[in-house]
Structure 1
Amino acid sequence: MSIKGKAFIIGAYEHPTRHAGDTSLAQLHAEAAAGALADAGLTISDVDGYFCAGDVPGWEAPGVGPFSIVEYLGLKLRHLDTTESWGSAYINHVAHAVQAIEAGKCRVALITQAGRPRADRQTPESSHRNQGQGAPEAPFELPYGPVVTNMYGMCAMRHMHVHGTTSEQLAWIKVAASHHAQHNPNAMLRKVVTVQDVLDSPVVSTPLHRLDCCVISDGGGALVVAHPEVARSLQRPLITPTGAGFTVRHLDGGYFDILASGAVQSGAEAFAQAGVTPADIQYASIYDSFTITVLIQLENLGFCEPGQGGRFVADGQLIAGVGRLPINTDGGGLCNNHPGNRGGMTKLIEAVRQLRGEAHPAVQVPNCGLALVHGTGGLLSARHGSATLILERL
């Protein structure tokens, strides 16, 4: 059943900070919420539905974190959703917000995300390791020293072994990100790089180089999703979800393909519900924790055949105004922002900018009317959640 026109994204805000300093995690959530509501032309008193994940402060005490941030924000709710799927959570939350609005559970849904790993000197490796100690797979996997970088390095090595993909082809994904980031004043890495620059950067986990990896940053963002009656009363651009998909992909007792992520299922579901194909998409926000993350998801989502990702991304094919499919025109996680080691929210915000025609003129896709957002939470080479959302401007 189509979800087109059932609800609209009417507010979006990306926090400009990349190093929070003395700004608390709760304050980052609050400032992101205030920015998105101001963008929508609403106030906190209009919100009756709230959606958050494990990045809210106090989450370490189960069930308390969401309540604490609801109180901190001063929300008076009829609906609360705390679905946690890491970097894919916020994309999944948009789909959940549409369902809640259609079911009459709320009329104005607020989604927030924030993090400060840079200020707190955290790393993706330390956060995954600390939270995985009690997991059922921990006694069987932790002795072998899995960390985020080497788990993605395995994906890259497998793709190169099976399909002949090269480090030069992966480097083009970073090059595209840097071409876009040069126009973003808030991006952490604004310098345009070349393929050779990527290859000359230190190897972090074979075959991935430092410049194949995303930035670590503080910050966050927020979205406001509203009932059609509310949206149409505000004179804001009408951006509606038209298709959504979500799944959890895991090792299945060893019977799995390391190069087939959850995007195979979530993407197919989203395209089927929206009634469009990859060829119809004008802009894509693709989760980019590493360059190999982008390449695998482009294949899994159907933008190219399995094994053809290296050729698909090479020679500037992902650069706005140059290539066949502009992606991550804010610079993405590779160059702009990856707040709290969770990149789903910023992917949504840039897609909204593109559909509104508010992206930087140098990267704006002309007459952008259809966009795809895809997020991954967890590890592609192990267990993860994949969320795909297709957005249309009416």
Structure 2
Amino acid sequence: MRAAPLRGGSAIVGVAESDLGTVAPGTSPLDLMAQAVTAALEDCGLSLAEVDGVFCAASQLRMPTLSLCEYMGLQPKYFDSSFIGGASFQSLAAHAALALEAGLCNVAVIAYGSTQRSARGSFTPQRDMNEYDAPYAPRLPVTGYAMAAARHMHLYGTTRSDLADIALAARGWAQLNPKAFDRRPLTREDVLAAPMVSSPLGVKDCCLVTDGGAAVVMVRADRAASLRKAPVYLLGTGEAQQHHSISQMPDLTVTGAAQSGAQAYAMAGLTAAEIDLVQVYDAFTITTLLFLEDLGFCPKGEGGRFVQDGGIAPGGRLAVNTSGGGLSYCHPGMFGLFTMVEATRQLRGEAGDRQVARHDTAIAHGNGGVLAGQATLILGTQSTL
């Protein structure tokens, strides 16, 4: 049997979001997942009856694949709800590629939905806290990310102003995205003067809290070319985990993205210099900085300087989080699937005012837990095969 997933052996052929922002009262996570799945199938011209692989992760549903399949009347041949937080969806895409290659399914759907904003005050995600950390009462996840930011500042001289550049870049992209939740003007002073949440991270260093869902449809490459939209091929995948509790992270400034990215680059046969656009999980400004370093776009410790003066904003040296990211576009609990949606739209040339000029290769990177699970996808157009 051939090695799987083969570089370019499967492709994303449909993507969609559900309603985003604040949804109507009574809307459930399953409603949003089903909205997104229906729209993603319409995007590629496939029918619900053709779906025989279902891949889900959710924070509000105990058994999301079973729930979604019942809701939509699906009886798939293969399903998977492996959960590693916000990195689940990149991991599930790799699993879907394996299942497609093995012939276990023919049309795979990856879906997510959350009403985290609407459920504020009544929804508390499960927290598996290390019993030795509990006496210190960390306010997770922000406490953990603040620790990473403080350590990076101590070691490398990174400043809050550098982190503000990341928030400003995200808002700049969001202002080009009509679906973005927060498109209001934002200044450096706004970011730096915002109330502190967990030092050194203020309110504007933290992601949005929204409702929303998304879905991606994948098929084998031999079928992809015959569908409605240009395929976006899976060129490389990688996964890594270093810890669960932030107190056990070996180095607060080096994430598992260094390993997951290296795996994905090796499979794709590409380097960071050959990537046109980057979608990373930006639950906090510090995550963007760490992932840019660990995925090879700048040396360790240079992230602050890399993002300065609009380095990752529209017109900057590298197109990063072109939807507006979790900081300004949407963040319904877990953001990983939305990086795949935006990367696909960019590679297809469908991003409207925020479309980047060079769009043959993209990274879509997911982060789960508190810098714990990392999963990287490298995606490309037909020209990259």
Structure 1 residues 121 and 194 mapped into 2: Cα distance closer, same or farther (>3 Å)?
same
Residue type of the partner of 2:319?
P
What's the offset of the Cα at 1:173? 0.3
Q: Distance in 1 between matches of 2:249 and 2:112?
A: 34
Contact 1:16 1:186 (C-alpha < 8 Å) held by counterparts: no
Query: Deviation per CA, 1:235-275, whole angstroms, max 9, x where unpaired?
Result: 42021010100111216995711111110100000011101
Q: Hey, what's the Cα distance between the residues in 1 that align with 2:132 and 2:249?
A: 16
Aligned to 2:9: 6
- Aligned partner of 2:258 in structure 1 is 264
What is the TM-score normalised by the length of structure 2? 0.94
TM-score by length of 1: 0.92
Q: Distance in 2 between matches of 1:123 and 1:389?
A: 34
2:342 to 343, 347, 350: 350
Structure 1 residues 335, 140: CA separation in 2 closer, same or farther (over 3 Å shift)? same
Amino acid at match of 1:106: C
Deviation of 1:112 (Å) = 0.4
Partner of 1:17: 20
Q: Distance in 2 between matches of 1:345 and 1:254?
A: 27
Secondary structure at 1:101's aligned position in 2? helix
Kept in 2, the 8 Å contact 1:51–1:93? The answer is yes
1:122–1:343 CA distance, 2 compared to 1 (3 A): farther
Question: Aligned pair 1:40/2:36, yes or no?
Answer: no
Alpha-carbon offset, residue 107 of structure 1: 0.7
Matched residues, number = 376
Which of 132, 146, 158 is matched with 1:153 structurally?
A: 146
Cα deviation 1:203-240 (Å, max 9, x = unaligned):
11111111011000101100000122331221420210
State the SS of the aligned residue for 1:179.
helix
The verdict on how the C-alpha distance between 1:255 and 1:231 changes in structure 2, with shifts beyond 3 A counting, is closer
Counterpart-to-counterpart distance in 1, 2:64 and 2:323 = 31
2:322 match:
329
Given the alignment, which residue of 283, 301, 310 partners 2:304? 310
CA deviation after TM superposition for structure 1 residue 27, in Å: 0.9
CA contact (8 A) 2:240 2:375 kept: yes
- Long gaps (5+) in structure 2: none
Q: Structure 1 vs Structure 2: percent identity of aligned residues? A: 42
Amino acid at match of 1:168: S
Per-residue deviation, 1:307: 0.4
Aligned equivalent of 1:83: 82
Provide, for residues 314-334 of structure 1, a one-character-per-residue CA deviation record: whole Å limited to 9, x for no partner: 1001013x2111111111100
Distance 1:159 1:55 in 2: 30
Q: What is the rounded CA distance, in whole Å, between the counterparts of 1:299 and 1:122 in structure 2?
A: 36
Deviation per residue, 1:348-380 (Å, 9 max, x gap): 10000100001122x211141000111101002
Query: C-alpha separation between the residues in 2 aligned to 1:44 and 1:286?
Result: 30
Kept in 2, the 8 Å contact 1:159–1:165? The answer is yes
Report the CA distance between 1:93 and its aligned residue: 1.1
The letter for the 2-side match of 1:223 is V
Out of 158, 163, 167, the position equivalent to 1:170 is 163
- The amino acid of 1:161's aligned partner reads H
Out of 4, 8, 30, the residue aligned to residue 34 of structure 2 is: 30
Q: Could you say which residue in structure 1 is the equivalent of 2:213?
A: 220
Residue 284 (structure 2) pairs with residue 284 (structure 1): no
Q: How does 1:237-256 map to 2 (within 5 A)?
A: 237-250=230-243, 254=248, 256=250
The Cα RMSD (Å) is: 1.7
Q: Secondary structure at the match of 1:55?
A: coil
Give the whole-Å Cα distance in 1 for the aligned partners of 2:8 and 2:244. Answer: 37
Provide the secondary structure at the position in 1 that maps to 2:108.
strand
Counterpart-to-counterpart distance in 2, 1:349 and 1:114? 14
2:362 and 2:111 mapped to 1: Cα distance? 21
